[in-house]
Amino acid sequence: MSFPDFNGSDAQVQWQRFCDLIWYHDDLGIWLDVSRMHVNTSHLEALQPGFEKAFAAMQDLESGSVANADEQRQVGHYWLRAPQLAPSEPVREHISQEVDRIEQFGKDLIGGRIRTPSGEAFTDVLWIGIGGSGLGPKLMIEALQNSGQGLPFHFFDNVDPNGMSTVLAQLGETLKTTLVVTVSKSGGTPEPHLGMEQARHRLEANGGQWAGQAVAVTMLDSKLDQQAQREGWLDRFDMFDWVGGRTSITSAVGLLPGALIGSDIRSFLAGAAQMDEATRVTDLRRNPAALMAASWFLAGEGKGRRDMVVLPYRDRLEVFSRYLQQLVMESLGKRLDRDGNTVNQGIAVYGNKGSTDQHAYVQQLRDGVDNFFATFIEVLQDAGDIPVIQSERPGDFLDGFLQGTRSALTEGGRQSISISMRRFDARRLGALIGLFERAVGLYGELININAYHQPGVEAGKKAAAAVLDLQSRVEAVLNDGASRSVSEIRQALGDGTDESVFWIMRHLTGNERGYSAVGDWSSPATMRFSKG
């Protein structure tokens, strides 16, 4: 299918396509435009039966069916913004109570009613979380925090010791007045545990009192929850068993940072609930998430053969492409379908923000390999405190760059989706997240994969644990002080490979841990290693 000539004799045809393939929500003030994707009404009619099954599956999920069969778990992130949909009264009450507690905690801490053990007001937040437990909070902070509003945030979202060192140095003496939030659903994930121990060590070394400054976001009765109870931490918030990390932003994972920057978390939840309602419509052409999922499906021939390039034209949404990487790629990137067939599905996501980054890669998008579709996101309302100088308005240029880039891609036969918002605030952020969450769910059903488990992630965790075990045994072999080659170390171990041993030795000798190396690093077989 080819595009009409938008500026020539087919302009009226394109206008009709635009009218047929645009969706608008009057109260939210949000448009979705898929008219520049290779999709038409006949395609949508052909896909309607497949979507009927997808709509039914989503209804079962929201009703409480076990959607994550690997872990025998329900998938209930939609209940977080509409507790009345939860399958039992205790769950409904628990959700509502947690939102109340989070909102009050934020108000009391910002207002100075909750203080450090030494009686000082809290000045900063150190947030410790990995994956969705870091990306969701970062999105909330970048998108919603206004200057001078709430507390400044710092993040441990990796186990990079250099990154930790930088953050701790930035905090310095203010660690004594820093709230430390550790997020770990199971309570046993290595990355947040390591970050927590480093933060605790430095905080106490600087005269802080951990228990009075620490908050846990975890499942009830997890290892972390038990520790927080035992030590009398400042507070604990539930990360429900039925919420996955990549869909946890409307739980305490996203709401607590929202409350600590003084954002309107009720409005955030209301926006997500409004979009949830709009995306339950079973008419494909009247459901924005279904329109988006159908466009993804047709663009990639149902095989994920095109990448998703996310281009939000607002600084506040710079983190959004990274957030979508996890939501989309962890959900859809699966080797097996529900029937056990090898399908190797997925949609790769990348991007940053316009107009800055259109200078970085639009050249290839316009003229290079045609293996993507773009997703433009715009906000119509500009900040009111930026004046007109010499008849120039920055917002006009930003809009011009967006429309110009969109047109340039179309002229090159490249596909794009556009999402436009009259204004941007907590409610629209909630709606935007709800739109993509539902599109991912529907697309997963359309291609017959389970969007709610993550066997590849679990495999990576097991492989990392195996490497750490191998390293401990390598160190034990070298404890006698003898000099050994890579092959000799591997033979002493009785397993592993020469390459895996070489990688471990390169790491050990790169730090001041008492290991030395002799030989030519460019010829690993010549190297000899020892301790002491």
Residues classed as catalytic:
330, 359, 461
* Residue 443 · residue 293 · CB < 8 Å: yes
Q: How far apart are CA 67 and CA 286, in angstroms?
A: 25
Q: How far apart are CA 192 and CA 171, in angstroms?
A: 18
Angle (CA) 286 375 49, round 5°: 35
Q: How far apart are CA 140 and CA 128, in angstroms?
A: 15
3-state secondary structure of 80: helix
Within a 13 Å sphere around the CA of 59, how many CA atoms are in the beta-carbon half? 9
* Residue 240 · residue 74 · CB < 8 Å: no
Cα–Cα separations (whole angstroms), residue 219 to 133, 152, 186, 188, 247: 13, 26, 6, 11, 15
421, containing H or E segment = strand 415-421
Q: Long-range contacts for 225-231 (Cβ within 8 Å, ≥24 apart)? A: 225/187, 226/187, 227/187
Q: How far apart are CA 505 and CA 489, in angstroms?
A: 10
* End-to-end CA gap in the chain: 69
Q: What is the CA radius of gyration of the chain?
A: 26
Residue with tokens 């990154």: 163
Q: Long-range contacts for 337-346 (Cβ within 8 Å, ≥24 apart)? A: 337/447, 337/448, 337/449, 338/448, 338/449, 338/450, 339/448, 343/447, 343/448, 343/449, 345/303, 345/304, 345/447, 345/449, 346/304
171, containing H or E segment = helix 161-171
